[in-house]
Chains A and B, each alone.
Chain A
Amino acid sequence: MSSTIETEKPQAPGAKAHTDGNWDVPVQTRSERFASAVHADFPAVTGRELEWRLTPVEKIRDLIDGELDGGRFPATVTEAPGVTAEWIGRDDARIGAAGLAEERAAANAWSSFREALAVTLTAEEPVEVVIDRQGDDRTPRAAHTVITAKAHARGLVVIDNRGSARLSENLEIVVDDGAHLTVVSLQEWDDESVHLSSQFARVGRDATLKHVVVSLGGAVVRVNPSAHLAGEGATGELLGLYFSDAGQHLEQRVYVNHIAPHTVSRVTYKGALNGEGARSVWVGDVLIGREATGTDSYEQNRNLVLSDGTRADSIPNLEIETGDIAGAGHASATGRFDDEQLFYLRSRGIAEQEARRLVVLGFLLEVVQKIGQAELEARLVAAIEAELAAVEVV
């Protein structure tokens, strides 16, 4: 009686890359995708490319091709022991340490920024840092940020995006050997804002990155995180949560690159869609490289559809180049309410509206619960409840 439609089943270990009809399957091995810091190196965007065909490119032309203001994007960073925050020049060695732009809008930002914000964590005692970014106009802007967790450092960095913006940016995350870093990119922009963010992470030996994308506000928000598990025993947990309202486009293209042996990745993205024209895109690429023996990976995307007139694209891609892995799987499902869950709650006296609210909230909270920071979790619960309050859940 479940309305959920399973579109993908976990793959058996050793399975090769597969093609599902017209799905968004990479034309070449994911790691061979062209990358450059220079805007002009990328061909003009038509909107028909795999990279762009699910994105409303006409709404973001200025960010793809226009001139971007590369001055400092307004940001304040909380002070904490063992944390430094500074603006660094384009020639700083930290720039490009974790990755390079893989598409034209990201390259436009890379070509345009004048200074990058560098936040560095050095303490082994866990610290919490908030990068508070309050946009205050709609000038097309470029930004570049580098977050580094030095060896054995531990911490949580929240990038708190609010206000109004038209922003294309690159975020680099370097997790050195033995470090444990959580990065939360929180998009609570106003209704008109546009935000394109390519986020590259490089995770070292026995290091752990927990990366969380929460997209709630903004007209077009496209956050593409990639995690390169470069050191033996590295772990990447990539979480995402989005709530797309009428006319809103929330997109995330996730890439996990298992480079080293015994690396582990978990990708869990969950979203709700409500209202005419509510749109979400999730593409999840996982590449298990030739050297990455003994790896364990699983990626999943779940979408809960709350009304008519919405569209959720959900496309998992798995490439495996070695037969010697511990596990690899993916799953994707988009559906309406689970009637059995509603029945169970209602049979305990909980009225229908309240039962639906609980199910939606619970569906999304599953991701929130994994963040592991009580204050932030409470704030996200409140934000999701506010989204739900505006919804006639039927």
Chain B
Amino acid sequence: MSTLEIRDLHVSIETDQGVKQILRGVDLTIKQGEIHAIMGPNGSGKSTLAYTIAGHPRYTVDSGSITLDGEDVLAMSIDERAKAGLFLAMQYPVEIPGVTVSNFLRTAKTAIDGEAPALRGWIKELKGSMEALRMDASFAERNVNEGFSGGEKKRHEIVQLELLKPKIAVLDETDSGLDVDALKIVSEGVNRVKENTGLGVLLITHYTRILRYIQPDFVHVFVDGKVAEEGGAELADRLENEGYDRYLTGSTVG
């Protein structure tokens, strides 16, 4: 069973106004099979955490560590992290002109497994996953995310999650912009993958809405670049009623 450990993580980015510190000492431990919700107001550093785990070059780790089963994630390249079993479902998946979904998925699967998947089984698996996420089969021959609606892009992210079978997945505001039907389909997908593969989930969200469909084991409230409070699912209920106001001082609003 795999464990992702984040210890005293400090992260900054370069902006036009100079270096800006965003994460100020994050500690988190996510085990396979667990669902952790990270909640917090805008600008609290939730997405920065997601992209730092995935290795986006925009973010500079100033101190602290991220390890997966003791292996130093920060020393890995972006693709090595994916091969090690990490996955990021993005808030704004990018379009890749000229690259079809089926070509992209097969290339990714081959890269992660180190060998090409057996053709017949792969096609069946792809078809099954797309069906479960209510994506028409024609999407396989469309270019990656090109002309997809917001909801289709998110469902496509979950198809990838299902096919690539990571150990730990970070879902960055996967619920944002989804109507309730799409939200249910996406949530069912995440729950199914967890059921089948024992996935560990770091679910980043601004709203409590998705937590009605994906039951968290732990809730962490993120404020001003670090975890301000932790608890079980009941903490989410409290946030639903009270909002984030009680965590915010004047200096952190916005």
Contacts and interface: CB of A to CB of B under 8 A. Distances in A.
Contact of B82 (A340, A348, A368): A348
A346 B96 contact: no
A366 B79 CA distance: 25
B169 to A, nearest CB: 11
A60 to B, nearest CB: 33
Contacts of B98: 361-366, 368-369
A351 interface: yes
Interface string B85-128: 00110100110111100001001100110000000000000000
A217 B97 CA distance: 24
Interface stretch (A151-159, A199-207, A245-253, A352-360): A352-360
Size category, B interface? 20 to 34
B94 A348 contact: no
Given A358-B96, A358-B99, A366-B98, A344 B90 contact: yes
Nearest to B90: A344
Interface string B23-36: 00000000000000
B20 to A, nearest CB: 16
Interface residues of A, number: 27
A354 to B, nearest CB: 7
A349 B79 contact: yes
Contacts, number: 83
A339 B57 contact: yes
B190 interface: no
B78 A358 contact: no
Contact of B78 (A343, A359, A366, A368): A343
A338 interface: yes
Interface string B133-156: 000000000010000000000000
B209 interface: no
A349 B93 CA distance: 15
Nearest to A342: B78
Contacts of A359: 96, 99
B193 to A, nearest CB: 15
Interface of A: 1, 338-341, 343-352, 354-355, 358-359, 361-366, 368-369
Closest 9 CB pairs of A and B: A362-B98, A365-B98, A349-B82, A348-B108, A362-B99, A346-B78, A349-B112, A349-B111, A366-B98
Interface of B: 54-58, 77-79, 81-83, 87-88, 90, 93-94, 96-99, 104, 107-108, 111-112, 143, 160, 164
